[in-house]
Amino acid sequence: MTRWKWARVGLVCVVLGLMLTLPRVWAAPAAEPIDSWYAASNARIAELWAQIEQRPVDAETQAELAELQQRLARYKANETERRAEIHKAFDEYMADMAESLGDDDLPEALSDAVLAQGLTDDPKVFLKRRDVADLILRAEAAASVAEASSKWFDALVLYRRLDLLIDDHATYDQPLRRVARKLRILRLYVPDTYYKLSDDFAISQGEEPGERWEGDEQQGWRHELRGVNRSMLLQAMTRASDNHVEGSSYDRLFIGGVDGLRIFCQLEPLGAEFAGLKNDAQRQRFLDYLDAQRNQLVKRTRRMTYTECANMLREALTYNRQTVRLPDEVFVHEFAAGAMATLDEFSSIYWPSEKERFERTTKQQFVGVGVQITLTDDELTIVSPLEDTPAHRAGLKAGDRICTIDGSSTTGISLNQAVRAITGESKEGSAVVLGIRTPGTDNTRQVTLVRERIKIVSVKGFQHLPGGAWDFIIDPDLQIGFVRVTQFGPDTAAELDRAIESMRECGGVRGLILDLRFNGGGRLDAAVALSNRFVDDGKIVTAHRSHFADAKDTYEHFPLVVLINRGSASASEILAGCLQDHHRALIVGENTYGKGSVQEVAFLGAFEAYLKVTTTYYKLPSGRIIHRRPKAAAWGVQPDVVIRMTDSEVERLIRARMYIDIFRENDEAEIDPDLVVKGPDEPGEQDQADAADEEPLPTTAAQLLAEGYDPQLEAGLLLLKAQLLNVTELVSNPPDNTTP
C-alpha cells in the first residue's frame, strides 16, 4: 500500500518571440473587476468565479465569455459531484476501519484509515480522533511484537502503513529501515527463505502465495555484487565524510558499518548460504569483536582519520576471514549499507551492477528495446512502444503480453525484474527474445529485439497527434499551451524550446500551463535552464553557489500557470519555487514533496561505480529552504491555489493518462483500456458482468478534462482563461506570499 495507490499501477519507463495578439478585454463593468491572479493569491477564488458568472456579455467577447462560463459551470458541477463522492467514501472507509478493528485486522484498518485521511481537509486533525489514535497505539505495539518474533513482513506492512498515516518522515524511519534491510538481505542471499516468508505472510492474510519468476534462479548475489571491493568503500566514506551536508565523519560511518554487519550476522537463515555463520562460537567471536570496535569508536574524543579508518577496516576484514569467513564483497557490501544508512535517504552507493540503472535516470537515455510496461492481471503487459525503437519497428503494440524473456516464463515477475531482464547487461547490439501474445489469441510468437540506445523524451504535450507527435495546444481559441515536464535531464530545455516553437508555428501562445506533477526531479542545471526560460533577471536558486537569470534564452512574457502535487520534487521544486518567488507564475495544486537537497555524484574505482551524496540544501530566491526535515512544520512549495486530489482520484487520473498517452500509428484501431491499464483492485475477466456499469476510461485528453478527471488542470485552465479575458492586465507586483 502506498500513499498514492496509483503507484501500484507500476508504469516503468524507466516561448514565444513577440506576442502575436494582445489580450482581449471586456467593456468595463459597473463593479471593479478582480484580477484572477490577485484573487487566487488571496484565496478569493469563489469571488472570482462569481464575477465570471455575472460578467455582462458584449459583442467582442461573447463567444469566449460564453465558453468560459460554460466551462466554469461544468467545473463547479464536477466539484459538487466530487465533494458528494468524497463524503460518501469517507463514511465507508471509516465504517470499514471500525469493522477491521473489530476483527483485529490492524493492517486492513490502517489501510482504511489512510484512505479516509486522504479525503479530509486537515490530516493532522484526523489523527486526533479517538478511534484513529487507538488504532495507532495498537498497530505500534503489534509491529514491535512482530519484529521481535522475526515476522518481518507483518512488521514491515504495519510500519509502512503507520508511516503513511503519520506522514512526518521521522517517527517510523528507523524501524522501517531496519526491517526492510533484513528482508533485503534475505532476498539477495537466501531467496528461497525470503519467498517462503512471503508465501507464509500471504497465506496469513487469506491470499494465494505469489508465483516466483524462474529468471531469479539464473542470477544470485555473486552476480549482483560483482566488482564490489574495499577500495570503493573507502572512497565513498571519504567523500561522505568530507562533503555530507550534515557533517558526517569516519567515526559515524564506521559505527553504521559495524551495525550493518551485526544485523547481517544475526540473521539465522543466512547460515544456509555462508557456512561460517552456522558455527555459533565463531559467529559470537566476530560479533564480540564488532561490539568492541563500536564501543571504542563511541568513546573516542577525537575524530577518526582516513588512515585509522583504513586500518580498522583492514583489521575487520582480516578478523572476518579468521571467524565467519564472509566473502570480501559481501563484507564490504553490508558494511557499506550500514554506513550509508547513517546519512540521509538520498545518499547511496551504486555498485557496478547498478551503474547502468543509475545512468538511465541522469542521462535521459538508456540501452534497451523501447517499451513501457506494467502488470495487468499479473501479466507483464506492454503499455506503449516508444517511437522509432526496436519494439516499435518490430510491431509490438499496447496490450501485448510478454509471456517469456529469453525462454524464461514471466509468471510471478516484478516490474523491476522485468526491466532488468529485458535490458540485460545494457550492451548495445545484444539481443533479447520476447515471447509475445496478443490478447484474443492463444499463440505466442517469438520476437528477437536488438538493444540500442533509447532516448527518453521528458517534455510531453496535451495529447498525441496522428502518427505520434505531441499536440501542445490545450485551447486553440485563446492560444493556450500545455506542457508536461516528466523529468529534468540534459536535453529537457532544448525539448521545451522545440515544444514552444511548435506552438508558435500553430499561431503563437498567449498563455501556458506547465505541468510538473509526478516529476521527481533530475539535474540542477536543467532546472536552472528552464527557470531562465521564464525569468530574465535575478536569482534562480542557491546551492553551492548562486545561479542567476539572464535574458539570453528567456521567452516573451505571457501568463503562466504551474501545476504541482505531492509527487513534484527536487528540480521541480526549484523551478516552481523560483517562478513563485519572482511572481512569474500562479502555482496551482498541492504542496510539493520537500526534497530541497543537492546531491553530488562521484565515481568510485576506475569509473566502475558511483556515490551519490547530499552536499547542501538549496535556497529559493526568497531565501526559503524547502527541504523536509524531521518534524518540520512546513516544507516544499506551497501552491497559491490549493486544489487537492484524493488518492483514488490520483490513481484514476494516472490510469487515464497512461491510456491516452499510448503511441499509436495513424491507422491503428482503438485499444481496450482494460487490456493495458486495468487497476489491481478492479474486477478480473470473471467479474466483467458485475463491472458492466463502471464508468469507462476517457479515450481523449479533451474527454479527460471535460469529465472532471483532472480538477487541478481544470482550475488552472479556468484561471488562465479568466486572466486572458480580464479587463485588467496581470498585476506586476501581486501580494508577497513567499516569506521565508
CA-nearest of 211, 159, 166 to 181 is 159
124 is catalytic: no
Distance CA 360, CA 453 (A): 10
Angle at 668 between CA 665 and CA 671, to 5 degrees: 115
**Catalytic residue, candidates 41, 384, 531, 570:** 570
Burial class of residue 525 (count of CB atoms within 10 Å of its CB; 0-12, 13-18, 19+): middle
Distance CA 289, CA 281 (A): 12
**Catalytic residue, candidates 581, 640, 661, 710:** 581
Stated as kind and residue range, the H or E segment containing 51 is helix 45-54
Distance CA 299, CA 80 (A): 63
Burial class of residue 360 (count of CB atoms within 10 Å of its CB; 0-12, 13-18, 19+): buried
Residue 200 CA to its chain's centroid (Å): 30
Strand partners, 480: 475, 511
**Beta strands, E only, 549-657:** 560-564, 586-589, 597-604, 609-617, 641-642
Residue 683 CA to its chain's centroid (Å): 26
Write the single-letter amino acid at 585.
Answer: A
Distance CA 100, CA 659 (A): 35
Residue where the block lists cell 504542496: 591
Distance CA 500, CA 15 (A): 5
Distance CA 578, CA 514 (A): 14
595 is catalytic: yes
Could you tell me whether strands 539-542 and 470-471 are parallel, antiparallel, or unpaired per DSSP bridges?
Answer: unpaired
The contacts of residue 107 (CB under 8 Å, 6+ apart) are 154, 157, 158, 161, 205
Could you tell me whether strands 371-376 and 365-368 are parallel, antiparallel, or unpaired per DSSP bridges?
Answer: unpaired
Question: For 28, left (φ over 0), alpha (ψ -120 to 50), or beta?
Answer: beta
Angle at 685 between CA 679 and CA 686, to 5 degrees: 125
What are 674's three cell numbers? 482494460
**Catalytic residue, candidates 5, 151, 460, 595:** 595
581 is catalytic: yes
Annotated active-site positions, please? Answer: 570, 581, 595
